Amino acid sequence: MTIRVPKNKNPRYVALGILGRVEAGDAYADILLARELSALKGLDRAFAMELVNGVLRWQIKIDWIIDGFSKIKTKKLEHRVLNALRLGIYQLLFLTRVPPQAAINETVELIKLEGPQRGGAKRTGFVNAVLKMVDTGRAGIVFPVLSREPVEYISIVFSHPAWMVERWIKRYGVKEAIELCQANLKIPPTTLRVNTLRLTRDELIRQLTEEGFRVESTAYSPDGAEVVGRQRLRLSPPDPEDPRYYIQDEASQLVPFLLSPAPGETVLDACAAPGGKTTHIAQLMHNTGLVVAMDRHSGRLKPLKEALKRFEIGIVETTVADATLPLKFQPTLFQEPSWTLSVPKEGFDAVLIDVPCTGLGVLRRKPDIKLKRKVEDIKELSGLQKRLLENLSKYVKKGGRIVYSACTFEPEETEDVVEGFLKKNRDFTLEGGKEFLPASCRELFTGEGYLTTYPHRHYIDGFFAARLRRV
């Protein structure tokens, strides 16, 4: 007898709904997961997250398998049936703790939950048949041959779009392209940035250890702590609302150090949402000075404002503005008519431009990005990045500095943007940043002085950052 779990409390059903909305372009998976998992607790919540992220990581490979067993190919399948198959196959072939019969039966139940009109015997029978064929025929699955079709082999076996694989093979070679794809498929660690306005890293590690976590200092960031395990299975993961820390990858934590904001300075964070780097900048300034944090969309500033309140940061002023246009700082933008914003006429001491980008450096954390991105996006975003850097460079004082950063390593979005800017703007120079980071970070800098990290080389997210000085 099957026990029917309410739809909103069934982790597989919740995961199926999220996958459908991601495919429809409704939102990115991380946003939907944060919004839709409120009804799930503990292990059910963790299982739903595993299902969503696992399917998205391996979707290209899973679709290849479906096409090998199904008479109806993935391009012609009804989306909800296709996503149900993806969930079932992920459980069959990638999760060792789910019995095959449970994976098949529970997936069939997902179709039945839609009711007789949406589900029906034909759909449930089809899903059941395909999953049973995959289960019994798993040993006979055939993939492309690496020596004959390296792009197709890597694309299918390591589940990345062919256009990405082709670019990476040309740049890094076949061996390293495989290593990069493999790194993107690994579940990333939970990395915290300690709120140094409240406690030290050693104090945070001690407290979290007492609470049941196994925690270690990060290799590169002086403010980072990595949760490497839990002493109790049912211990809830670190709370994103905890005022002691901010959940943030180590690579992202390095960017504010490169900016090196000092207490009392004036800083512009031009693309500030969701606020990880903004709050870190304020910490490094010991909550003294001024940080103007802006974003194009008011809704995106909400999590930033919540983080400022949680960390008790009082030096950040938020505003809605388009950073590609001349900036107009008016008190009315801050929704507090009594405030008078002091923006120095000579410009800011420091400007952080963490640009919108393809996000190919953070695929291990946001696997749906690789399914949404097209090669044309690189050129389009490169144009936006150039406009941002050109416009915002006007607001840094003489002798001040800019840090240009992006969570990608594609040349058109990184060094090409910086080098093109420097050729046109002789009053700026590239400034090496090794002195602003610990000695352990020296390996992260290129010969030109760019901070560049890779998930397969450094086991942190892929990031690029350049420090420019106005002379």
pLDDT in tens, 285-319: 999 999 999 998 888 899 999 999 999 999 999 99
pTM of the model as a whole: 0.92
Domain count, the chain: 2
Q: Residue 116, SS3?
A: helix
256 and 128 in a common domain? no
Question: Which structural domain range is residue 77 located in?
Answer: 7-142
Give the lowest-confidence range in 50-59, 87-96, 296-305, 387-396.
Answer: 296-305
Among the options 271, 357, 407, 441, which is catalytic? Answer: 407
Domain assignment present for residue 81? The answer is: yes
Which is it for strands 348-354 and 290-295: parallel, antiparallel or unpaired? unpaired
Beta strand spans in 224-277 (E): 224-230, 245-247, 266-269
Domain assignment present for residue 335? The answer is: yes
Q: Which of 142, 167, 201 is the last residue of a domain?
A: 142
357 counts as catalytic:
no
449 and 300 in a common domain? yes
Q: What is the DSSP string of 34-69?
A: HHHGGG--HHHHHHHHHHHHHHHHHHHHHHHHHHHH
Domain assignment present for residue 170? The answer is: no
Nearest to 270 by CA among 321, 223, 311: 321
Question: ∠ at Cα 40 (275, 311), nearest 5°?
Answer: 25
The mean pLDDT of 183-191, rounded to a whole number, is: 96
Give 326's pLDDT tier (boundaries 50, 70, 90).
confident
Question: ∠ at Cα 331 (328, 336), nearest 5°?
Answer: 145
C-alpha to C-alpha distance for 294 and 304, rounded to whole angstroms: 10
Domain of 356: which CATH number? Answer: 3.40.50.150
Domain assignment present for residue 347? The answer is: yes
Domain of 108: which CATH number? Answer: 1.10.940.10
pLDDT digits (tens, 9 = 90+) for 260-281: 999 999 999 999 999 999 999 9
Domain assignment present for residue 435? The answer is: yes
Q: Which of 142, 170, 186 is the last residue of a domain?
A: 142
- What pLDDT is stored for residue 118 in this prediction? 52
